[in-house]
Structure formats: C-alpha cells, structure tokens
Amino acid sequence: MMRALVLGSLLSALAACGDDVGPAPSDAEVDAAVTADAERPLPSLEEGELLPGGATTLAEAGASAFLQPAANLSLSRRSQFEAGLQFFRLQWVPAPGRADLDGLGPTYNADSCIACHIRNGRSLPAGNAEDGVLLRLGPATGGPDAYYGEQLQPRAVPGVPAEARVERHRIDAGSVTLGDGTEVALTRVEHELIDLGGPPLAATTLISPRVAQQLVGMGLLEAISDVALLAGEDPDDVDGDGISGRAAHLESGDLGRFGWKAAEPTVVGQTAAAFHQDLGLTSELRPEPNCPRGQTACVAAPSGGEPELVPARLAATAAYVRLLGVPPRRGGDDAETLRGKALFAEVGCAACHTPAFETGAALEPELTEQRIWPYTDLLLHDMGDDLADGRPEGDATGVEWRTAPLWGLGLVDEVNGGFRLLHDGRARSLAEAILWHGGEAASARAAYRALSAEERAALERFVFSL
Ligand code: HEC
Ligand code: HEC
C-alpha cells in the first residue's frame, strides 16, 4: 500500500536519527504523506463494529453510559444486576457498626467502589489526590513494602493511624515536536508521602500510582477464551514487527486480565482484591485482614465479621460488574472517523490495541459468543523506561503494562468532566498519551509523530468514537 510505504520511509528516516525526540521529518516528507492519504480509498465499516459489546451494547451513550445493564438482560436478570449495584454503591462503615454495613478498614482508600470509579468511569487524579489515584508499593525485586504492604491506605478508622497522606506534583517533562512543527508539552506526576503513620518509607520501595479505569465490558473481557488470548502472543517477536506481547501467566495457572498490569484473572478476583485493598473488607477469597504485621493498631482493630463481606455479596457485586452494558459507537461511519480507523491500523496501534474478539463460554449467559470490540489484546508489553514503574506485579515486570482497552474512552470526558490517560493519569490528551508510548510501541509513536494535523485529528476522532 502506497501510504504504508510512505510511512515506512518516514519511520526509517526517524529511526536513523537515533534519538526518538530527534529532528522532525521534512516538509516534503510530511506533504508526501498527506498527498498519499488524500488518494487512499476509505476503509469500510466491519460487521458489528458499531456494536462494541455485541448484544450487550446499549442503545444510547451519554453521561450515564457506564451505569447501564447489558441491553440483552431479561427483567428478572435486571433485578440481579440491581442487587449487585447496591454493594457497589454502598458506603461501608467501620466495625462495630450496623451489622450489614460494617467492615470498612481498619486502613482503607475509600468507603465505596463508586468513590473511585465515579459513575463507573475514571478517577480524576487532578482533583483530590487521595481519591483519584492509589499507590502500589514495593521493591524492584517484587513483593510488598515491609511496613506499608503492597498498597498505601491513606485513611483509617478511629484509633488506627492512616498510613500516610499523598501529595501529587505535576512536573514538566519537556516537549516533543511533531512532524508538522506542532509542539506537545509533556508532564509527569510524582507522589510524595507525608505525615507517615509509621517509619520512613524504605529507600528501596518504589511507588506505582494507578488511576481507576472506566468499567466497560469486564465480563466480556473475562469471556475471551485463554486460547484466543494466547493466540495473540509473540514473546520472541517471531514475526519481527518489534512487538512481543505476552500473556500474564499467574502463579495460580490462570491468565491475568484485569488491572493496569493484568495481575487479576477474573472479575470476582478483582472485586475481592478491591474490597480487600481499597476498602479493607475481608471475603472468602481474601480472608486475612489487610494489616501488615508491624501495624499493631490495625491488627488489633475490631473486625466486621469473618469474612466481613458474605459470599453472596461478593458474588452479587462481581455479577453487577460483569453485567454492565457496553456503550455504542458514536459517529463511527463518517469519512473522517473511517480515515482515522485506517490510520490506527497503519501507524501500528492495532498491533496491540486489537480491535475485535469473539467471546467463548461466559459466567453470565448473556455474554457468550459475542463479537466484541475492546481494542486490547490483554497482553503485557514492554512500554519503555518512561512509562516503567520498576515494580513487578503478578507476571508483569517493572517495564510491562497490559494494553489498555480503548472502548468507552471517548465518553469519559462527558461522564467524568475531564480525563487523565495512562496508568498514573499523567497524560492530559490523546497526543500526550501516545507520545509517552515507548519500548515495543516506539515505532507506532514515531509514525504518529510523522502524521499531519488532519491525520492526527482523524485518528483522535476514531479513538474517541470507540
Ligand atoms: C481507591 C480507589 C478504588 C476503589 C475504592 C475501587 N477501585 Fe476498582 N480500580 C481502581 C484502580 C486504581 C484500578 C486499577 C488497579 C490496578 O492497576 O491493579 C481498579 C481496577 C478495577 C477493575 C478492573 C478494571 C480493568 O480495566 O481491568 C475492576 C473490575 C474494579 N476496579 C472494580 C472495583 C470494585 C468492584 C470496587 C469495590 C469493591 C472497586 N473497584 C473499588 C481504583 C479503585
Ligand atoms: C506495543 C503495544 C502498543 C502499541 C503499538 C500502542 N499501544 Fe496504546 N497502550 C499500550 C499499553 C500497554 C498501554 C497502557 C500504558 C500505561 O498506562 O502505562 C496503552 C495505553 C494507551 C492509551 C491510554 C488508555 C487509558 O486508558 O488511559 C491510549 C489512548 C492509547 N494507548 C492509544 C494508542 C494509539 C492511538 C496507538 C497508536 C498510535 C497506540 N496506543 C499504540 C500498548 C500499545
């Protein structure tokens, strides 16, 4: 394809510079790329593409798009969905309290699921630092911090010291010049722990900040078969495209799918982990209180039951998360979006952000055998030093992240009144998010830099239509 050749030559020109923040491509090269683009036929829509969640896809998007039950739930199944919704919204209280509401803490991040997954969308780390982002802790060799555990809990019940307060600083990270001369300023974020409830943080402990993702199609991602997921792997980069995604092989034998590092294999596992680490409630899957041994007041604090979250409630919450509907595409079939779709494939985004999968057996009957469009391969990729947190988790190393699903991303602004992209929310725009991509995504990033302003706008229109 002509366009691919033009991009190829631009890529080698960029690669020849050695430094990937090096000189921009010449005007002639950019003009050639634009001319080639104008001559290209548009791709067509694929079957089912505008229904990203298959039969679960909602009729309408809008500000409540992440809160709706799957479109194909029967009335009686809807009441099951609503039963789980209660526990997702519930504000838990410290023990001893009302028997069916207590168990919060002793240390915790928030008192409800919805406090972070605002309207089931994303947390906004620009606002309240403690709500918007959580911090995982531990050394580069793996495992938890010896005193503070694997996650910092900045809140605690009365009588127990909170682990610390968090201050978030946005730091200038220079700028990148795009092919047409446009400058994009980048910022990073750093987190400082103040008012520590125990000893100073160990010098070897790394901080891995995470924003809460939009909750779209979790049950459908769970229903992609292991076989389909493994088919995308190329750990030794046999096809030579520079991309060597690999599945997260967890110690349990399961494949990790959820979280920024794919450390959790199932929705119920992720839900139990959230209750345990974020809210401080024990469950059958996480029976031990979330109190590192050295934190004596935490260890001694009253319990809300054994477990604090009865099995039926854990199951109901997980079912609610699985049964959320997927928003429809918005304006996916206009010419600019289709041009953006072509560019998404050509610059190499689709090599990791795999457009479509077929689901297999599912825990909820409504989710089986659906053609879904999550734009992720659910695999781990080396994303380079600039995104690395240095802290291994599950099967992921300190430079690896799970390809982020892109469905629903274009609705986050409407749902949450703003958005911050990437695992720590450092990127304030799509351009910034792409320009932070490195490692296996370095050539996609370079190809993006070489696009014209019109092409970048078309790519953005496509991504935000997902
Ligand atoms: C303190 C904020 C916070 C609270 C409270 C919280 N979450 Fe999360 N949630 C996150 C963050 C951050 C992640 C990403 C975690 C990671 O990278 O491991 C996440 C990830 C998830 C995911 C996986 C998303 C994906 O794309 O892989 C699910 C499902 C989820 N949370 C459900 C819940 C449920 C259910 C609750 C309540 C029991 C809850 N969360 C409470 C912050 C929160
Ligand atoms: C080598 C695999 C790979 C390629 C190629 C790639 N991405 Fe990504 N993408 C990822 C991973 C992994 C993440 C999560 C990184 C993180 O948060 O640190 C990500 C994150 C993102 C995000 C942020 C999502 C969120 O929820 O915050 C966007 C947007 C995105 N990619 C778009 C693109 C576009 C557009 C392209 C093509 C120019 C592209 N990506 C190419 C792997 C890839």
Q: How far is it, in rounded angstroms, from Cα 68 to Cα 212?
A: 18
CA-nearest residue, atom 37 of ligand 1 = 113
Handedness of CA 366, 371, 406, 338 (dihedral sign): negative
Neighbouring C-beta atoms of residue 120, cutoff 10 Å: 24
**Ligand closest in space to the Cα of 152:** 1
Residue to probe by mutation, ligand 2, list 218, 243, 353, 380, most atoms within 8 Å of CB: 353
Q: Which is the closest atom of ligand 1 to the Cα of 260?
A: 17
Distance 289 CA to ligand 1 centre (A): 19
Given this model, what pLDDT does residue 126 score?
A: 55
Given this model, what pLDDT does residue 219 score?
A: 98
Name all residues whose Cβ lies below 6 A of ligand 2: 213, 243, 260, 347-349, 351-353, 381, 383, 387, 401-404, 406, 409, 421-423, 430, 433-434, 437, 440-441, 444, 448, 463
CA-nearest residue, atom 20 of ligand 2 = 404
Matching residue, tokens 């790394």: 206
Distance 130 CA to ligand 1 centre (A): 14
Reference 360, options 269, 214, 229; nearest CA is: 229
Given this model, what pLDDT does residue 419 score?
A: 87
**Ligand closest in space to the Cα of 316:** 1
Distance 280 CA to ligand 1 centre (A): 13
pLDDT tens digit sequence for 375-403: 999 999 999 999 999 999 999 999 999 99
Residue type, 360: G
Q: How far is it, in rounded angstroms, from Cα 289 to Cα 383?
A: 34
CA-nearest residue, atom 41 of ligand 2 = 349
Distance 176 CA to ligand 1 centre (A): 32
Residue type, 367: L
Residue to probe by mutation, ligand 1, list 81, 111, 116, most atoms within 8 Å of CB: 116
Distance 78 CA to ligand 1 centre (A): 23
In sequence order, the 6+-apart residues with CB closer than 8 A to the CB of 200 are none
Reference 218, options 418, 362, 316; nearest CA is: 362
Q: How far is it, in rounded angstroms, from Cα 47 to Cα 31?
A: 34
CA distances from 415 to 19, 52, 391 (A): 39, 18, 31
Answer whether 54's CB lies under 8 Å from 372's CB.
Answer: yes
Given this model, what pLDDT does residue 125 score?
A: 64
Q: Which is the closest atom of ligand 1 to the Cα of 402?
A: 27
**Ligand closest in space to the Cα of 155:** 1
Given this model, what pLDDT does residue 37 score?
A: 53
**Per-residue model confidence as pLDDT tens for the chain (466 residues):** 333 333 433 333 333 333 344 445 455 544 444 445 556 788 889 999 999 999 999 999 999 999 999 999 999 999 999 999 999 999 999 999 998 899 999 999 999 999 999 999 998 765 544 457 899 999 999 999 999 999 999 999 999 999 999 988 999 999 999 999 999 999 999 999 999 999 999 999 999 999 999 999 999 999 999 999 999 999 999 989 999 999 999 999 999 999 999 999 999 999 999 999 999 999 999 999 999 999 999 999 999 999 999 999 999 999 999 999 999 999 999 999 999 999 999 999 999 999 999 999 999 999 999 999 999 999 999 999 999 999 999 999 999 999 999 999 999 999 998 889 999 999 999 999 999 999 999 999 999 999 999 999 999 999 999 9
Neighbouring C-beta atoms of residue 164, cutoff 10 Å: 21
Q: How far is it, in rounded angstroms, from Cα 465 to Cα 55?
A: 19
Given this model, what pLDDT does residue 38 score?
A: 54
Given this model, what pLDDT does residue 75 score?
A: 96
Burial class (CB in 10 A: 0-12, 13-18, 19+), 312: exposed
**Ligand closest in space to the Cα of 341:** 2
Distance 445 CA to ligand 2 centre (A): 10
Matching residue, tokens 């199609």: 217
Given this model, what pLDDT does residue 12 score?
A: 37
**Ligand closest in space to the Cα of 268:** 1
Name all residues whose Cβ lies below 6 A of ligand 1: 88, 109-110, 113, 115-117, 134, 210-213, 215, 218, 258-261, 263, 267, 270-271, 274-275, 278-279, 317, 321
pLDDT tens digit sequence for 431-452: 999 999 999 999 999 999 999 9
- Can you read off the two tokens belonging to residue 191? 């987190």
CA distances from 227 to 119, 213, 358 (A): 33, 26, 11
Distance 255 CA to ligand 2 centre (A): 20
CA-nearest residue, atom 42 of ligand 2 = 403
Q: Which is the closest atom of ligand 1 to the Cα of 257?
A: 27
Q: How far is it, in rounded angstroms, from Cα 221 to Cα 429?
A: 26
Answer whether 173's CB lies under 8 Å from 432's CB.
Answer: no
